[in-house]
Amino acid sequence: MNSTDTITSKQLIFIIIGAQVGMGIFSLPRLVSAEAHQDAWLAVLLGALVPLLMLIIIERLGRRMPELSFVSMNHFLFGRWLGSVMVFLFVFYVIFFNSTVVRIFTEITVIFLLPRTPVPVVALVVVLAIVYIINKDARVVARLNEVLFWIILPLIFLFMIPLVNADYTNLLPVGGAGFKAIVRGVLPSSYAYAGMEVLLVFYFLVKSKSEVIKAGILGLGWTTLVYLILTLICLLVWGSETIQIINWPALTVLKTIKFPVLERPEFLLLTVWMGVGIRPVMNLGFAAAYSLGEVLHVKRDKYFHLVVMAIALPIYILALLPPNLIIAFKWTEYAGYTFLLVGLLYPLLMLVITVIRGKGAQSA
Amino acid sequence: MLKKAGLIIIVFLLFNLCGCWDSQDLEDLSFPLAAAYDVHLSGSADSSDPPAEPGYKLVDLTTLVPNLAPKAEKPVNIKTLSGITIADARQRQGLTDADTYVTGMNQVIIMGEELARTGLNPFLDSLLRSPTVSGSMYFAVAAGRGEDILKTPIKNYNNMGIYLVALFNGIQQRTFIPVTRMEEFQRYQSTGKNPVAPILEQRGDRVIISGVAIFKKDRLVKKLDIEEGHELVLLRGIKGRSFLPFSRKVDGTYHRGAVLVSNSRKVKYNQNQQGHNFFITVKLNGSLEEHGYQALITEEHLQEIEKTIEQQVQTQCEIFINKMQEEIKVDCIDISKFALAKNRRVLEKDIDKPEFIQNANIQVKVKVHLQNVGETR
């Protein structure tokens, strides 16, 4: 591991936030309220339990083998061949997941900001930026996450302004949607927390491993808070019924207000968000490139850019495959399912094997 | 070094790719400030409007575009085009005008009365679907045709669009009239809610607000006059500020005056064997602005004035509620949501049926508090 590939636990907080809060935030209130109705905010809160469970599993796993990287861990637990296959599957997952993020990012940019620019051109620019970033080391990725976090922070206050149109009866009766409906809403809400799985790779890169759980909880806590606030705002302004006809409620909610000078706040938000929305691609992309480089024994200084390109190219191609927005939304749903597999079942399987192997795993 | 410089140049050029498609010369754009939608009327469209097969055209789109050319003869271009849909009428602009039509700056949308009675959602879809269109544009209904409002000559303003924006801006601080924005019209179509909108009317050489339009979801069902509009605002809880005249009988003589009040509303709801019960409390807080009784105002006087206004407004509100239940049969005072808030799952199927509001027991109580009497006593 290069010295520039270590990060602090504080940086891990920003990486986790960056990996989770991307473009899904804009459609989250619609997806969750479709199932949980006025109790969507409760489903968003409960949805956070899924990544919390992931965090605990991955941390327990890492604690048992603190000196092993993600790739070494796979080799150790599954054997060299099967372990490499598992790493490749992880890389495929990242490619698929990132392609959906790039596509949705591109669609929003094209629909709201650049209606005449072809989707492949916007997607190309996005992917090139990603290639440039993940070609660097973990520390650069971490620092960029931190900078972008502070840039986006003031925008949270922008979202408060539509509350002038809030109607508290839209949230009532609390729990009235029924237990089953709320539980059904937890599933799409948990997809929005996709990104926690980067910890599988980044755990090894954190200097102070004892602080990982704290950093994870802080990162997840922030994400949950932001999701909760935005879902509540959308529900208060529109109610769960009207939200259903809006593709990106958390963005369109800014269209309900008018500033004297800044006529259209949603455009201001999007301009800033263009840097922020691709953070999940950047973080997951780095995790995949780092692991793929390691499994292929690629010299970091010489050929890492080829590994990055090998990941970026399929992301770009896959991002262009959905013929329309409706299919692209379907793909994001599939990406959500795979997230549960990769983020929850995969580390759980690894942890179970580690526990079964007992002391052997500890000494590894 | 050369390689690096070349790479930087290529990356820079790549990042500017988007400009190749989306760059537009400002001089080639036209920005409508106001628009009106009407049911198609044969002969209403401009002579330049391209012909179509009989029966093809269903809707008229009138746009008011400020003329930005420095030496233009007319300060504004008002044009009516027809089509089978709004977007169709809009695209026909391309056949008659060299400039590209940019909908993002539109600030007022007026719906013709006939069109509003047919249901507006199919015609508003193109506005709601387009992210460039502002959701905060003012929404109004015309008494008659919307195009007549835009085509009325205006004297003290640059154009009718600017006048209408100025008219609606801050009107709730001047009188009790609802002001509706595009997104609000959409928002108030959910279960248990119904939108309202101001009515614009051409009177002589002026355009005025002459009443309030009541919608059942997207369909205009009733027009209220200005006085009824005041009661609607108070009962609906739309926050505003207005003068209220009062008339008080002292020793057989009528003394008239006016207060300037801000309003608020509270609604309590319960359901029992009698049915759905709503208790509305309208609160008016403000000051005495005019008083015909030329004597020093004492605390007793002030209380009497408060009671007079309370009785007066309460009676008017009760009459309005009666009219709403018997004649309009639509919850235009936005109280059904409080019933939904108690039992959404059971009530949401039936709450929009006329019987719900007709059979509801609605009681209203008005509380007036006058804080001061102005500079003189």
Distances (CA, A) of B376 to A123, A266, B295, B297: 70, 49, 11, 9
Report the Cα A247 to chain-centroid distance in Å: 19
pLDDT at B27: 76
pLDDT at residue A89 is higher than 60: yes
Distance separating alpha carbons of residues A214 and B213, to the nearest angstrom? 57
Residue B198 preceded by cis peptide, ω within 30: no
Q: Closest Cα of chain A to B255: distance in Å?
A: 40
Q: Looking at residue B140, what is its pLDDT?
A: 98
- Look at B187 and A128 and tell me if their CB atoms are within 8 Å: no
- Quote the minimal CA–CA distance from B41 to chain A in Å: 32
Predicted pLDDT of residue A212:
95
pLDDT digits (tens, 9 = 90+) for B265-292: 999 999 999 899 999 999 999 999 988 8
Residue pLDDT, tens place only, B147-200 = 999 999 988 898 999 999 999 998 988 999 999 999 999 999 999 999 999 999
Is B54's pLDDT higher than 90? no
Task: Sort out which chain B residues have CB atoms less than 8 A from A116's CB and list them.
Answer: 21-22
pLDDT for A2: 65
The predicted pLDDT at position A274 comes to: 78
What token pair was written down for A185?
């809403």
Q: What is the pLDDT of residues A193-218, one digit of tens each?
A: 999 999 999 999 999 999 999 999 99
Q: Are B353 and B214 in contact (CB under 8 A)?
A: no
3-state secondary structure A240-298: HHHHCCCCCHHHHHHHHCCCCCCCCHHHHHHHHHHHHCCHHHHHHHHHHHHHHHHHCCC
B21 and A241 in contact by Cβ < 8 A?
Answer: no
Mean of pLDDT values over A273-283: 87
Tell me, what's the pLDDT at B333? 97
Average pLDDT, chain B: 90
Residues of A in contact with B22 (CB under 8 A): 114-117
Count of CB contacts below 8 A, A vs B? Answer: 86
pLDDT at B14: 67
In this predicted structure, which of A80-84, A219-223, A269-273, B317-321 has the lowest mean pLDDT?
A269-273
Q: What's the count of helices (H) and strands (E) in chain B, helices before strands?
A: 13, 15
The pLDDT-based confidence of B372 (bands split at 50, 70, 90) is: confident
**What pLDDT does A278 receive?**
86
SS3 B38: strand
pLDDT at B20: 73
Q: What is the mean pLDDT of residues A345-351?
A: 96
Structural domains present in chain B: 25-236 (no CATH), 239-377 (3.30.300.210)
CB B218 within 8 A of CB B207: no
Higher pLDDT, A360 or A222: A222
Residues of chain B contacting A263 with CB distance shorter than 8 Å: 134
CA distance B225 to A25: 45
Domain range enclosing A344: 3-363
Summarize the confidence of residues A131-138 as an average pLDDT: 89
Decide if pLDDT at B15 tops 90: no
Nearest CA in chain B to A236: B187
Say how many CA atoms lie within 13 Å of B14 toward its Cβ. Answer: 16
pLDDT value of position A262? 72
Q: What local confidence, expressed as pLDDT, does residue B190 receive?
A: 95
- pLDDT confidence bin for B23, thresholds 50/70/90: confident
Share of chain A above pLDDT 90, in %: 80
Taking an 8 Å cut-off on Cβ atoms, the answer to whether B345 and A177 are in contact is yes
* Nearest by CB: A125 against B17, B132, B186: B17
Question: Distance between CA A81 and CA A92 in Å, rounded?
Answer: 16
Q: Which of B20, B21, B136 sits opposite A255 (nearest CB)?
A: B136
Query: Which of A142-146, A241-245, A360-364, B65-69 is predicted with the least confidence, judged by mean pLDDT?
Result: A360-364
pLDDT at position B69 is: 73
Contact B18 A117 (CB under 8 A): yes
Q: Lowest mean pLDDT of A32-36, A218-222, B125-129, name the range.
A: B125-129
- Asked whether the predicted pLDDT for residue B19 surpasses 70, the reply is no
Task: Round to whole Å and give the CA distance between A135 and B60.
Answer: 56
Instruction: Verify whether the Cβ–Cβ distance B187 to A242 is below 8 Å.
Output: yes
Residue A91's pLDDT is: 97
Residues of A in contact with B15 (CB under 8 A): 125, 128
Q: What is the pLDDT of residue B117?
A: 97
CATH of the domain at A96: 1.20.1740.10
Mean pLDDT of A33-58: 97
CB contacts under 8 A, B 291-310 vs A, are none
Query: What total number of domains does chain A contain?
Result: 1
- Give the pLDDT confidence score for residue A156 in this predicted structure: 84
Listed by number, the residues of chain B in 322-341 with a beta carbon closer than 8 Å to a beta carbon of chain A are 337-338, 340-341
By CB atoms closer than 10 A (0-12, 13-18, 19+), residue A59 is buried
Tokens in use for A127? 């992917």
Average predicted confidence (pLDDT) for chain A: 92
Q: In the prediction, which pLDDT does A364 show?
A: 55
Percent of chain B with pLDDT over 70: 95
